[in-house]
Amino acid sequence: MASKHFAISTLARGILAIIAGVLCIIWPGMAIWVLGIFLIVWGVLTLIDR
């Protein structure tokens, strides 16, 4: 049976995290703000490979 696992590049993960973070910040709610900021920071750190 074929494996359904696929790899995503570091750059793509970083960009995806930044986009998800910005979308979460645009959506209202305090928990969403915290999640959005976390995702943006995680995305930036992923892009600089730390």
Q: What is the pLDDT of residues 3-46, one digit of tens each?
A: 555 566 888 888 888 888 887 788 767 677 778 888 888 888 88
**Exposure string for 11-50, b = 16+ CB within 10 A, e = fewer:** eeebeebbebbeebbeeeeeeeeebbeebbebbeebeeee
Q: Measure the CA dihedral 20/25/43/50, to 10°.
A: -150
Q: Which helix (H) or strand (E) holds 17?
A: helix 10-26
What's the whole-model pTM score?
A: 0.55
Phi (first) and psi of residue 2, to 5 degrees: -75, 145
